[in-house]
Structure 1
Amino acid sequence: MTACVHYQRHDDIGVIRIDNPPVNALGHAVRSGLLDALDQGLNDDGARALVLMANGRTFIAGADIREFGQPPRQPILPEVVARLEASTKPLVAVLHGTALGGGLEVALGCHYRVALPGTRVGLPEVNLGLLPGAGGTQRLPRLVGVDSALELITSGRFVPADEALSLGIIDAIDATDAPLDAGLGAAHAILEGQRTARLTGELRAPAADPGAIARHRARLEAEVPELFSPFRCIEAVAASSEDGLAEGLRRERELFLACMDSPQRAGLIHAFFAARAPHRVPDAGESPALSRLALLGEHPLFERLRDNAGRTDIELTDRPDDSTQACLIASDDAAPACPATCLRIALQPADADGQPDDLNAELVLVTPPQGALVELVAIRASAEQQQAAAAALKALRQAVVVSRRDSLLAALYRAADASPDDRCTAMEAASLALAEQGRCYRTSDIDLLAVEALGYPRHLGGPHRQATLTASASSETSP
Structure 2
Amino acid sequence: MSVHYQRHGDIGVIQIANPPVNALGQAVRSGLINALEEGIADSDAKALVLLADGRTFIAGADIREFGKPPQAPLLPDVIAQLEACPKPLIAALHGTALGGGLEVALGCHYRTALEGTRVGLPEVKLGLLPGAGGTQRLPRLVGVERALEMITSGRFIEATEALEAGIIDDVSTAKTPLEAGLSAAHAVLSGQQASRITGTLPAPESDSQAITDTRERLTRETPELFSPFRIVEAIEASVTADSLQDGLRRERELFVACMDSPQRAGLIHLFFAARSPHIVPGVENASAFNQVALIGEHPLFERLQKAAQRAGIQLTDTANENTELCLIASTSHAEHPLHITTIALTKIGNQGESDTALSLVIPQSDDLIELVNLGAEPLTQQRAALTLKALRANVVVSQKRSLLNTLYEATQQAPASEKRSALEQASIGIAQQGFCYRESDIDLLAVEALGYPRHLGGPHRQAALSTAKDV
TM tier relative to shorter chain: over 0.9
Q: Specify which of 367, 376, 382 is matched with residue 377 of structure 2.
A: 382
| Mapped partners of 1:465, 1:333: distance in 2 | 39
Read off the aligned partner of 1:59 and give its amino acid letter.
Answer: F
- Seen in structure 2, the aligned counterparts of structure 1 residues 209 and 333 have a Cα distance that, compared at 3 Å, is closer
Deviations 1:348-376 (A, max 9, x none): 1121123xxx3221111111132421111
Deviation at 1:174, TM superposition (A): 1.1
Which residue does 1:51 correspond to in 2?
49
1:426 partnered with 2:422: yes
Q: Retained in 2: the 8 A contact 1:147–1:213? A: yes
Deviation at 1:420, TM superposition (A): 3.6
| Mapped partners of 1:240, 1:341: distance in 2 | 65
Deviation at 1:109, TM superposition (A): 0.3
Q: Specify which of 402, 407, 413 is matched with residue 412 of structure 1.
A: 407
| Mapped partners of 1:95, 1:291: distance in 2 | 35
Which residue does 2:389 correspond to in 1?
394
Residue segments in structure 2 that go unaligned for 5+ positions in a row:
none
User: Could you tell which deviates more after superposition, 292-301 or 260-269?
Assistant: 292-301
| Mapped partners of 1:371, 1:464: distance in 2 | 22
User: Could you tell which deviates more after superposition, 442-451 or 180-189?
Assistant: 180-189
Read off the aligned partner of 1:348 and give its amino acid letter.
Answer: T
| Mapped partners of 2:252, 2:3: distance in 1 | 27
Deviations 1:243-301 (A, max 9, x none): 21011000000000000000000000001111000000000133453011111122211
Q: Retained in 2: the 8 A contact 1:294–1:317? A: yes
3-state SS of paired residue (2:293): strand
Deviation at 1:310, TM superposition (A): 2.1
Which residue does 1:260 correspond to in 2?
259
Which residue does 1:474 correspond to in 2?
470
Read off the aligned partner of 2:215 and give its amino acid letter.
Answer: R
Deviation at 1:446, TM superposition (A): 0.2
| Mapped partners of 1:12, 1:147: distance in 2 | 40
| Mapped partners of 2:146, 2:138: distance in 1 | 9
Deviations 1:48-107 (A, max 9, x none): 110001111111011112222222110010000000000011100001110000000000
Q: Specify which of 430, 451, 457 is matched with residue 455 of structure 1.
A: 451
Identity %: 63
| Mapped partners of 1:71, 1:196: distance in 2 | 40
| Mapped partners of 1:306, 1:182: distance in 2 | 36
User: Could you tell which deviates more after superposition, 343-352 or 380-389?
Assistant: 343-352
Q: Specify which of 114, 131, 151 is matched with residue 129 of structure 2.
A: 131
Q: Retained in 2: the 8 A contact 1:220–1:230? A: yes
| Mapped partners of 1:312, 1:20: distance in 2 | 27
Deviations 1:137-186 (A, max 9, x none): 00000000000000000000001001100110001111111111111111
Read off the aligned partner of 1:198 and give its amino acid letter.
Answer: R
- Seen in structure 2, the aligned counterparts of structure 1 residues 76 and 288 have a Cα distance that, compared at 3 Å, is closer
Read off the aligned partner of 2:155 and give its amino acid letter.
Answer: R
Which residue does 2:142 correspond to in 1?
144
Which residue does 2:354 correspond to in 1?
359
After TM superposition, the structure 1 = structure 2 runs for residues 223-262 of structure 1, keeping only pairs within 5 Å, are 223-242=221-240, 243-262=242-261
After TM superposition, the structure 1 = structure 2 runs for residues 263-302 of structure 1, keeping only pairs within 5 Å, are 263-302=262-301
Which residue does 1:7 correspond to in 2?
5
Q: Could you state the TM-score of these two structures normalised by the residue count of structure 1?
A: 0.96
Which residue does 1:37 correspond to in 2?
35
| Mapped partners of 1:170, 1:331: distance in 2 | 50
| Mapped partners of 1:268, 1:390: distance in 2 | 25
Deviation at 1:338, TM superposition (A): 1.4
User: Could you tell which deviates more after superposition, 325-334 or 180-189?
Assistant: 325-334
Q: Retained in 1: the 8 A contact 2:114–2:172? A: yes
Read off the aligned partner of 1:106 and give its amino acid letter.
Answer: V
Q: Specify which of 16, 24, 48 is matched with residue 18 of structure 1.
A: 16
Q: Retained in 2: the 8 A contact 1:286–1:384? A: no
1:373 partnered with 2:372: no
User: Could you tell which deviates more after superposition, 66-75 or 325-334?
Assistant: 325-334
Q: Retained in 1: the 8 A contact 2:136–2:238? A: yes
Deviation at 1:332, TM superposition (A): 2.9
Deviation at 1:333, TM superposition (A): 4.5
Deviation at 1:334, TM superposition (A): 4.2
Deviations 1:195-253 (A, max 9, x none): 11121001000011100000111111111111000000000000001121011000000
Which residue does 2:204 correspond to in 1?
206
3-state SS of paired residue (2:372): strand
Deviation at 1:194, TM superposition (A): 1.4
Read off the aligned partner of 1:46 and give its amino acid letter.
Answer: D
3-state SS of paired residue (1:401): strand
Q: Retained in 2: the 8 A contact 1:208–1:241? A: yes
Deviations 1:312-370 (A, max 9, x none): 111111110111111111223543x211210111111121123xxx3221111111132
3-state SS of paired residue (1:280): coil
Deviations 1:389-435 (A, max 9, x none): 00000000000000000000000000011114121110000000100
3-state SS of paired residue (2:288): coil
Q: Retained in 2: the 8 A contact 1:285–1:383? A: no
CA RMSD of superposed structures (Å): 1.0
Read off the aligned partner of 2:451 and give its amino acid letter.
Answer: G
Q: Retained in 2: the 8 A contact 1:236–1:248? A: yes
3-state SS of paired residue (2:311): coil
| Mapped partners of 2:106, 2:207: distance in 1 | 22
| Mapped partners of 1:254, 1:372: distance in 2 | 36
3-state SS of paired residue (1:311): helix
Q: Could you state the TM-score of these two structures normalised by the residue count of structure 2?
A: 0.98
Read off the aligned partner of 1:448 and give its amino acid letter.
Answer: L
